[in-house]
Each structure stands twice: as C-alpha cells, then as structure tokens.
Amino acid sequence: MRGDSGCDRVGVMGNLQFIGLLNWSSENGEDMSGKSKLLKVVLLGDGGVGKSSLMNRFVSGKFDVQSFHTIGVEFLNKDVSVDGDNYTMQIWDTAGQERFKSLRTPFYRGADCCLLTYAVDDIQSFKNLSMWKKEFLYFADIQDGMNFPFVILGNKCDVQNKVVNDSDIQEWCRLNGNAPLFLTSAKDATNVEKAFIAAVLRLKELEDFIETRQTNADTVDLKKKAKMTNNNSCCN
Ligand SMILES: Nc1nc2c(ncn2[C@@H]2O[C@H](COP(=O)(O)OP(=O)(O)OP(=O)(O)O)[C@@H](O)[C@H]2O)c(=O)[nH]1
Ligand SMILES: [Mg+2]
C-alpha cells in the first residue's frame, strides 16, 4: 500500500508480512538508493507513549490524534544526511503492549540503535525503561550493553500534567551509559528530528570510541609482545 505521505509502509505480524516496496526520497528529491548506509533503528516503550506517532512525525511530518495500538511491528524508511554521510534509517516501530511481546522481540536482532521511549505524563512508562532495555539486549543478543547506542525519548512534552521528574530521568540516563535524552512531542514536532538524528550521531560516536579502544589495545598488545620477545630471547 502506498501511503499518502509518499513512503511505503511495511507491517509485519508474526510470519505474516503485508505490503511491499520501500523507498523514501531525500528532502531534495534525489534518489539516494545505493549510496547510503542502511541503519536499523528500533523504537521501544510502553503501549501508548507515542512511538508510532513519533515515527510518523519524523518520516511524514504528520500527527494523528486517533492513533491505533500497533500489533506486531511496522517499519518505515527515511533517508538522512548526517555530517556529510548518507544513511537510510529503517525505523522499526514495535507494539508496546505486553500481549504482543512474542510478535515484536524477533525483530530486535541486527539493530544499529535503539530509541527507548516513555511519556512524561506516565510514570509507569518511565519505570519500565530498564525492563525495555533488558528485553532489547536479550533478544537482540547484545553483550556489551554499555556501548550500544541507546537514545532516550521523553514524549508528550506538550502536556501540562508532567509526572516524570527531570532529575529522575537524567539520573537514569547517567546510570545507563550517559544515554542522550530528548524531551519530544510528536504532536507539535518538538525535538523529534533532533532525537532521531541523535541516534545516528550516537552510533558514530560509539563506533569511533570502540575503534579507538581497539587500536589502543592492539598497540599495547604489540608492545607487550615486543617486551616478552626481548626477555625470552635466546640470542641476547
Ligand atoms: N499530547 C500528545 N499526545 C501524543 C503524542 N504522541 C502521541 N500522542 C497520542 O498518544 C496516543 C498513543 O500514541 P501512539 O503513537 O499510538 O502510541 P504507541 O507508543 O505507538 O502505542 P502502541 O502502538 O500501543 O505501542 C495517541 O492518541 C496519540 O495521538 C504527543 O507528543 N503529545
Ligand atoms: Mg504504535
């Protein structure tokens, strides 16, 4: 089904995959296929926090007050350019309701980044962030959770009755690898684009960090080896 936004939506429920074709042209209309790197981005969080609304706001710039609960998963593609590099963000929107757990978890594998979402007017959705992170790491089979690019979204920041304390969420982020935090509103578009782009930046940042750490480790190893060779040398 071709959406009226100009992008194609794919929904996946269990083994049943409906709707085909994916392609989203960049803002300037240029076809970027073949030139951009595909990034799988998974959106997680309690049912009703606004994950589908955030994806739709980011990809098609629209907001629907009458949003339905997601069943299983859906994904949309969007091409972006970050620091001169082109990416196709493949955004996987999952069902937050507990009864759909077995339909969403098979789709975590291969994720490049994960957006953990709560709603600022729903304290339980904030308390469940640790559960979501744990579920993601387990089913995505990720060993080094501290160096995986998570970005935290506090959605519905347009509402009056905020119940999640800024200091509580900041502390949670600090304890969880200093994950970047964005207070967003899918309704009025506050910080939505920034938050999605932050996922790409976070990924780049952590990839650079791991690469540097690896290079340093190799350097240390080589030195160690050189020293050992000298000590154990039979020809000195
Ligand atoms: N005020 C306000 N309402 C929002 C915002 N984002 C989403 N909503 C509303 O919150 C409700 C739930 O939004 P969804 O996007 O369907 O939530 P979801 O996280 O996808 O829910 P599941 O699919 O069940 O996991 C809908 O009525 C939306 O219109 C927001 O930023 N501000
Ligand atoms: Mg949804």
Q: Is the backbone of residue 83 left (phi > 0), alpha (psi -120 to 50) or beta?
A: left
Burial class (CB in 10 A: 0-12, 13-18, 19+), 211: exposed
pLDDT of residue 233: 38
53 CB near ligand 1 (under 6 Å) = yes
185 CB near ligand 1 (under 6 Å) = yes
Out of 172-181, 187-196, 205-214, pick the least confident.
205-214
186 CB near ligand 1 (under 6 Å) = yes
Enter the tokens of residue 25.
Answer: 């042209």
Handedness of CA 145, 184, 68, 11 (dihedral sign): negative
103 CB near ligand 1 (under 6 Å) = no
pLDDT of residue 212: 77
Structural domain including 150 reads 9-235
For 10-65, write each residue's pLDDT tens digit.
444 433 333 222 333 333 334 445 578 999 999 999 999 999 999 999 999 999 99
Residue 2: inside a domain, yes or no? Answer: no
CATH number for the domain that contains residue 49: 3.40.50.300
Residue 4: inside a domain, yes or no? Answer: no
- By percentage, how much of the chain surpasses pLDDT 90? 68
**46, 60, 67, 159: which to mutate for ligand 1, most atoms within 8 A of CB?**
67
Residue 3: inside a domain, yes or no? Answer: no
Inform me whether the pLDDT recorded for 201 exceeds 90: yes
The pTM of this model reads 0.81
Handedness of CA 13, 18, 19, 23 (dihedral sign): positive
pLDDT of residue 216: 75
